[in-house]
């Protein structure tokens, strides 16, 4: 129920921001469509912790700020490699441990790896992620596990697997 | 004040375009599918991000800026997902990655496996 209310608020907020025309007719139509979408989403059984992860809260915001800095650093590193006449790359494949308890956490971790240029996650298995890195140095950064720990910390305590979420 | 905003916005736009261009250069210079994905990652993240930031400075505190922020958010969620789909498909059925050191003036010789199409 909490998730349904929050989804409705988010949807209506998005409607108001996108429309920019605040007449009773359009605001009423917006409210009606938001209600319809929440109803359909409820019937599809996707209004849960995974589809609408409000439980991440502020931890998600601080994580995004940290990730943005990492993305900028990685961008500069890879841009240097591209512009270097010698093209100093030594691609490697590494398998990383993913310590996240939930599938949502693993998706966040795998997507964060892909978002930082120079590393792309290729395959997500049970508790490991296969990663292709453009240089050994970038793979070693990931192996140190700093990003893994941050994602796990952001995910916080909670149901460990999708089946347990009820 | 307006001139300062214009300068800031132009600097961001030029920086973003440069990163997009660097990504394109990397796409040509890198040897195989997997390393090329890293180059396109630059265009996706910092290239698009800085261009959108430059446009936000032009937009000011209006609904336009809110929409630009949302475009950025959608981009940051969808681009790694599509890259993952591409990488996973390539690894399952396509050419295997070229690994190891390859420092050379020109990219590795074109063979049937890595021939650009």
Of B38, B76, B101, the CB nearest to A78: B38
- Number of A–B residue contacts, CB under 8 Å: 119
Residue A67 falls inside a structural domain: yes
Q: How far apart are CA B82 and CA A114, in angstroms?
A: 10
SS3 state at A158:
coil
Query: Average pLDDT of A79-97?
Result: 91
Specify the number of domains making up chain A: 2
Q: How far from each other are the two terminal CA atoms of chain B, in whole angstroms?
A: 49
Strand pairing class (A128-133; A92-97): antiparallel
Percentage helix, strand, coil for chain A under 3-state DSSP, each rounded to 5: 60, 10, 25
Asked whether the beta carbons of B51 and B17 are under 8 A apart, the reply is: yes
CA distances, A154 to each of A42, A62, A100, A165 (Å): 26, 9, 10, 18
Residue A89 falls inside a structural domain: yes
Same domain, A32 and A72: no
Q: How far apart are CA B48 and CA B80, in angstroms?
A: 14
Confidence of residue A165 (pLDDT cuts 50, 70, 90): very low
Same domain, A8 and A86: no
Token pair belonging to A82: 């591209």
Same domain, A38 and A61: no
Q: For the complex shown, is ipTM > 0.90?
A: no
B94 touching chain A per CB within 8 A: no
Token pair belonging to A45: 């059984």
SS3 state at A124:
strand
Query: Average pLDDT of B30-44?
Result: 90
Residue A50 falls inside a structural domain: no
In chain A, the DSSP E strands lie at 92-97, 119-124, 128-133
Which residues of A lie closer than 8 Å to B, measured between beta carbons?
A: 14, 17-18, 20, 71-72, 75, 78-79, 81-83, 85-93, 110-112, 114-123, 130, 132, 134
Q: Which residues contact A40 (CB under 8 A, 6 or more apart)?
A: none
Among A81, A111, A71, residue whose Cα is nearest residue B103: A81
Residue A159 backbone phi and psi in degrees, to 5: -55, 135
Same domain, A14 and A84: no
- The DSSP bridge partners found for residue A133 are A92, A119
Confidence of residue B95 (pLDDT cuts 50, 70, 90): confident
User: Cβ of B102 and A90 within 8 Å?
Assistant: yes
Residue A91 falls inside a structural domain: yes
Query: Average pLDDT of B51-80?
Result: 92
pTM, to two decimals: 0.82
Residue A159 has pLDDT above 70, yes or no: no
């Amino acid at each position: 129920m909490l998730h349904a209310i929050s989804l409705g608020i988010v949807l209506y907020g998005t409607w108001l921001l996108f429309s920019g025309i605040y007449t009773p007719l359009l605001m009423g139509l917006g409210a009606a469509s938001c209600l319809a979408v929440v109803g359909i989403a409820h019937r599809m059984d996707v209004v849960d912790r995974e589809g609408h992860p409000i439980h991440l809260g502020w931890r998600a915001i601080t994580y995004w700020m940290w990730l943005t800095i990492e993305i900028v650093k990685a961008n500069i590193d890879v841009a240097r490699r591209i512009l270097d006449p010698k093209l100093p790359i030594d691609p490697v494949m590494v398998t990383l441990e993913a310590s996240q308890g939930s599938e949502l956490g693993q998706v966040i971790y795998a997507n964060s790896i892909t978002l930082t240029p120079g590393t792309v996650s290729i395959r997500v298995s049970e508790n490991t992620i296969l990663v292709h890195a453009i240089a050994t140095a970038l793979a070693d950064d990931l192996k140190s596990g700093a990003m893994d720990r941050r994602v796990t910390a952001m995910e916080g305590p909670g149901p460990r697997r999708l089946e347990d979420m009820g | 004040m307006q001139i300062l905003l214009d300068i800031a916005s132009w600097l961001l736009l030029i920086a973003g375009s440069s990163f997009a261009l660097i990504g394109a250069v990397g796409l040509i210079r890198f040897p195989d599918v997997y390393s090329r994905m890293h180059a396109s990652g630059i265009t996706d993240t910092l290239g698009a991000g800085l261009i959108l930031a430059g446009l936000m400075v032009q937009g000011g505190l209006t609904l336009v800026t809110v929409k630009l922020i949302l475009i950025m958010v959608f981009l940051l969620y969808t681009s790694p997902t599509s890259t993952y789909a591409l990488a996973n498909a390539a690894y399952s059925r396509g050419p295997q990655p070229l690994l190891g050191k390859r420092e050379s003036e020109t990219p590795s010789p074109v063979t049937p496996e890595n021939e650009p199409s």
